Structure 1
Amino acid sequence: MNRLLVLETIIQMKSFTKAAEALGYTQSSVSQMVLGIEKEFGMQILKRSRNGVSLTAEGEALYPYIVQTLRTYQALQERAASLKGLETGMVRIGAITSVSCYWLPELFKKFQEKYPNIEFVLQQGDFGMILDWLKRGEIDFGLMTAEYGDGFNKVVLHETEMKAFLPSKHPLAKLDSVPIEKLACDPFILVEGGGYSEPMKAFEEAGVIPHVRYRIQDDYTIMAMVEAGLGVSILSELVASRTDFDVVAKSIEPKVTRPVAAVYRDKATLPIASQYFIDFLVENQKALQ
């Protein structure tokens, strides 16, 4: 099993040397373990290039099964640990920026007060990236909109309001709430959703077409662009709670919301630590403000 872990780490870091350092092995022993796997399967799995280490075509075909084997073994270890209490384990999460920045740090802290030896691996991405990570087994569950991702199980944790973000001196900034039709009059900065967009759905339902000038993945970059007067945007209310940008966030008419959910394949097959953390999120829904 250690050989498969070494192989996964090499792929993630694209380097034998970095993988050896991360896992506490010599580079020679790492190379020998990879050679052992390739000899066992009778094919070359890794190839080196100027861009680092990557999978061969045969390696690409085998890699999903390698990841699945590692996660199953991890679940076995954690299930054994759970019989004597959750003492160790790892929680792998994919989350959108607003959730990872404004909810997870405090939730990690509270969870580790009860289970101090649990480790977290957090990847930030858009909706499409999170679903890809779930399909490939790179994360245990995602924290994203419940409106996207057919075929996955979902537990809604919070109904987050999406707000109009405007330059502080914009004429619409004086309003208590902004009609969505008005947001279609300015250049629009669209947060990249990776296949799904609450703002675009809201515009469609209102029968208007926004003038999308920019498509940006990062909320902070969008707020900087709004501050600079490059356009207006619609973002989660969460990002307005901790910002020094000279922008205002206003409710939209009609109201636009995002149901934030824990999204996963089959909870029963998740590592025990991740099952516990999902239950913890459900128990702490009231704290998600």
Structure 2
Amino acid sequence: MEWIDPAHARVFLVLAEELHFGRAAERLGLRQPQVSKALAALEARAGAPLLLRTSRRVQLSAAGQALRGPLTEWLQAGGALLPLAQAAARGQLGRLRLGFVSPAGFGDLPRWLREFRDAQPGVELQLREATLDMQLEWMARGELDVGLALLPAGAELPAQALRCVGREPMCLALSEAQAHRLGPKPALAALLAEPLVLFPREIAPALHDAVLDFYRQHGLDPQPRQRAVQMATLIHLVSADFGLAWVPASMQALQRAQVVYRAAPRGAPNCHTWLLAAAPQTPAVQAFLRHLPSSTAG
């Protein structure tokens, strides 16, 4: 629509209802000459009379009738713009692009997402399951706002790391055949001698190194029999008796036939869930960051 002064538009719409200059001026809190001037300015913009006036009556012209409906919708839409902008500034509208490593889906992430969605229904959630290296790459390209990644205690943190939002121990996933061979309380040496299935180092370098360092501390240099990017895939390999896997304790929610979970040995690395965020942060992202808990990493 060609630019129209909203004040002139409101004057015209009140006139269209009242069809009387005096009553319209009273409703608007204006003097009658001001009402006439506003109408004249709008008629000049339209290039046609909007009201037909005689000594006895005032009525809408054809142009006024045609303009009344669209002008009402235009003002109503304009009136909604400021609340829309204010809601976006408060983080109640917008988009949140969240990347997460697969184990997070077995932990608190579903509850966090549900509670955030209930609190901020106007924010569009775009979820992408991705490893740490992929999350960092997407953040560098401006394609991801927030990420959740797994790191061991004491690991060197990426620049995007904001805070720890969860802590859990590692556990061991063994096949039923392994568990039967080892017995209910296997010696540490026997446990560490079992074949190992592990994720590639480039996927989560710090966690990968923490697991292997535990073996080296006990004089072993394991060579994983199989590797898999996703923790869930490691569990599937365990069920096929390829070897045992070190996984976050929350992965025990993934129950699969022929798989048994055991607590990790004393001194094994813990697993921390770290919140990553790209800069700058939109209000929607800031609202999500406020929504997540903090956990002392150590």
TM-score scaled by length of structure 1: 0.62
> Structure 1 residue aligned with 2:293, among 260, 271, 282?
282
Q: Does 1:227 align with 2:233?
A: no
Distance in structure 1 (CA, Å) of the matches to 2:183 and 2:115: 37
Q: Tell me the distance in 1 between the aligned counterparts of 2:206 and 2:197.
A: 12
2-side partners of 1:244 and 1:219: how far apart?
Answer: 13
Aligned pairs for 1:100-249 (under 5 A) are: 100-146=105-151, 147=155, 149-170=157-178, 171-172=181-182, 174-175=184-185, 179=188, 181-192=189-200, 194-205=203-214, 206=217, 207-249=219-261
Provide closer, same or farther for how the CA distance between residues 239 and 106 of structure 1 changes in structure 2, counting only shifts above 3 A.
same
For residues 181-206 of structure 1, give each alpha carbon's deviation from its aligned partner in whole angstroms, at most 9, with x where no partner exists: 54442221102352515243233242
Query: By how many angstroms is 1:251 displaced?
Result: 1.8
Structure index of larger Rg: 2
Q: Following superposition, which runs of at least 4 residues in structure 1 exceed 6 angstroms of deviation?
A: none
Find the aligned partners of 1:148 and 1:139 in 2 and give their Cα distance: 21
1:29 maps to none
Task: Check the 8 A contact 1:145/1:261 in 2, yes or no.
Answer: yes
Residue of structure 2 equivalent to 1:93 = 98
User: What secondary structure is seen at the aligned counterpart in 2 of 1:210?
Assistant: coil
The residue type equivalent to 1:231 in the other structure is G
Distance in 1 (alpha carbons) for counterparts of 2:192 and 2:223: 6
Contact in 2 for aligned 1:186/1:211 (Cα 8 Å): no
Contact 1:97/1:218 (8 A) holds in 2: yes
Distance 1:118 1:204, change over 3 A: same
**Is contact 1:144-1:262 (8 Å) kept?**
yes
Contact 1:100/1:124 (8 A) holds in 2:
no
Q: Percent identity?
A: 19
1:203 is matched by which residue type in structure 2? L
Displacement after TM superposition at 1:95 (Å): 0.8
Q: Measure the CA separation in 2 of the matches of 1:226 and 1:238.
A: 16
- Could you say if the C-alpha distance between residues 217 and 145 of structure 1 is closer, same or farther in structure 2, counting changes exceeding 3 Å? same
SS of residue in 1 equivalent to 2:205? coil
Mean Cα deviation higher: 215-224 or 195-204: 195-204
Which stretch of structure 1 is more off in the superposition, 143-152 or 210-219?
Answer: 143-152
Task: Report the residue type matching 2:274 in the other structure.
Answer: A
* Amino acid aligned to 2:291: F
> Following TM superposition, by how much is the alpha carbon of 1:168 offset from its aligned partner in structure 2, in angstroms?
2.0
Following TM superposition, by how much is the alpha carbon of 1:264 offset from its aligned partner in structure 2, in angstroms? 2.0
Deviation at 1:128, TM superposition (A): 1.2
Work out the number of aligned pairs and report it: 204
Task: Tell me how far apart the structure 2 counterparts of residues 94 and 214 of structure 1 sit (CA, whole Å).
Answer: 26
In structure 2, how many angstroms separate the alpha carbons of the residues matched to 1:201 and 1:102?
Answer: 21
Provide the C-alpha distance between the structure 1 equivalents of 2:187 and 2:251, rounded to a whole number of angstroms.
Answer: 18
Q: Is the 8 A contact 2:99 2:147 kept in 1?
A: yes
**Structure 2 CA distance for aligned equivalents of residues 255 and 195 of structure 1:** 17
Measure the CA separation in 2 of the matches of 1:263 and 1:90: 16
Aligned-residue offset at 1:208: 2.2
The match for 1:262 among 265, 275, 284 is 275
Q: What is the Cα deviation at residue 244 of structure 1?
A: 2.9
> What RMSD over aligned residues (CA atoms) do the two structures have, in Å?
2.7
Where in structure 1 are there 5+ consecutive unaligned residues?
Answer: 1-77
Deviation at 1:105, TM superposition (A): 2.3
SS of equivalent to 1:224: helix
Q: Is the 8 A contact 1:183 1:210 kept in 2?
A: no
What is the identity, as a one-letter code, of the residue corresponding to 1:282? P
Task: Give the residue type in structure 1 aligned to 2:173.
Answer: F
Offset of residue 210 of structure 1: 1.4
Match of 1:125, as an amino acid?
A
Structure-2-length-normalised TM-score:
0.61
One-letter code aligned to 2:131: D
